[in-house]
Amino acid sequence: MMPFQATCHTPQSPADFLAANTNVFATFDYCPQDSGNISYGVRIADRRYFVKTPGLVDDGKPYLDHADRVNVLRNAVRLAQSCDHPTLPTLHQVIESPEGPMLFYDWGEGELVRNALKQVECLPVGEILDLLNDVYDLHVELVKRGWIANDFYDGSMIYDFHRRQLHAIDLDTYHLGPFTNDMGRMFGSTRFMAPEEFKLGATIDQRTTVFTLGRTAAVLLSDNSLDRTPFRGSDTQYDTMLKACQQDPDARFQTVAQFRDSWPQAD
């Protein structure tokens, strides 16, 4: 238990507050986090936490201004409070500061899948399938609570190769309910994004999440293509992935539950 759990507000900046109350062992600022957030790895007693903040008020470099970054973190709090899934690091505390909220999560041990993709590709197929099943089960639970995926990619996954444990992170821009693409090219990695995520005015709904989940299989079980030869799963799994990744949303599984129900049958 964190010793300052009852503290909900501080007049200090996040950097000063953390320096005074924790042992800061890592800082993640502009290079790894183009969102504008500034995050920290901190140690309190014998436990480690990941602390996410919206960054500096006067930082104008990121795409989102400070107020929008604050809103995104408040959205992350709503998601964390709505879904208790083993892949989601526990959110222990939110402390308000003059620069916005500080979100204290459990520290997720492991490697960012985006950075360790070659290592993931060398895993036995069964272990990759376990990883995918965790991703899919998580999204079934999130959809039950109304959440539509946005900006999920291999940078949203930390994998502990020793414990064979997945941590899903940075789901801050997930959206409650279907919504309209008001950006044109939305946030995300093109390897995981559906066609409607590039089309202004398009509907973003469960079918978009289905596409992203299909692309996750294409990246982790194959060579990022939809070709059969490099795909290391079964024929039925391949057919399931292909249907999920159809360009026309109407040709995909219409819900995440339908996709998830189809995937185990392909095992």
Q: What is the pLDDT of residue 29?
A: 84
Q: What is the pLDDT of residue 4?
A: 44
Whether residues 70 and 120 share a domain: the answer is: no
Domain termination site, one of 106, 125, 151 = 106
With a CB cutoff of 8 Å and minimum separation 6, the contacts of 69 are 35, 36, 37, 54, 55, 62, 100
Dist. CA 169–CA 152, nearest whole Å: 9
Domain assignment of residue 3, yes or no: no
Domain assignment of residue 49, yes or no: yes
Whether residues 77 and 27 share a domain: the answer is: yes
36, 60 contact by CB (below 8 A): no
Whether residues 129 and 219 share a domain: the answer is: yes
With a CB cutoff of 8 Å and minimum separation 6, the contacts of 208 are 148, 149, 194, 196, 197, 249
SS3 category, 9: strand
Dist. CA 165–CA 227, nearest whole Å: 28
Q: b/e per residue, 226-249, with b = 16+ CB within 10 A?
A: beeeebbbeeebbebbbbbbbeeb
Q: What is the pLDDT of residue 3?
A: 46
Per-residue pLDDT of the chain (267 residues; tens, 9 = 90+): 344 454 589 999 999 999 999 999 999 986 555 678 999 999 999 999 999 999 988 876 667 899 999 999 999 999 999 999 999 999 999 999 999 999 999 999 999 999 999 999 999 999 999 999 999 999 999 999 999 999 999 999 999 999 999 999 999 999 999 999 999 999 999 999 999 999 999 999 999 999 999 999 999 999 999 999 999 999 999 999 999 999 999 999 999 999 999 998 655
SS3 category, 254: coil
Whether residues 91 and 169 share a domain: the answer is: no
Domain assignment of residue 6, yes or no: no
Whether residues 83 and 132 share a domain: the answer is: no
How large is the C-alpha radius of gyration of the chain? 19
DSSP string for residues in 207-249: HHHHHHHHHHHHHHSSSSS--STT--S-HHHHHHHHHHT-SSG
Domain assignment of residue 2, yes or no: no
Whether residues 43 and 171 share a domain: the answer is: no
CATH number for 202: 1.10.510.10
Residue 23 lies in domain: 14-106
Whether residues 52 and 178 share a domain: the answer is: no
Tokens of 186: 């939305």
Domain assignment of residue 217, yes or no: yes
Whether residues 102 and 115 share a domain: the answer is: no
Domain assignment of residue 9, yes or no: no
Whether residues 147 and 222 share a domain: the answer is: yes
Domain assignment of residue 250, yes or no: yes
CATH number for 38: 3.30.200.20
Q: Supply φ then ψ for residue 67, to 5 degrees.
A: -60, -40
Q: What is the pLDDT of residue 31?
A: 54
Domain termination site, one of 75, 106, 137 = 106
What's the total number of domains in the chain?
2
SS3 category, 14: helix
Domain assignment of residue 86, yes or no: yes
Q: What is the pLDDT of residue 171?
A: 98
Whether residues 88 and 132 share a domain: the answer is: no
DSSP string for residues in 33-52: -TTS-EEEEEEETTEEEEEE
Q: What is the pLDDT of residue 265?
A: 60
Q: What is the pLDDT of residue 248?
A: 98
Whether residues 88 and 196 share a domain: the answer is: no
Whether residues 62 and 125 share a domain: the answer is: no
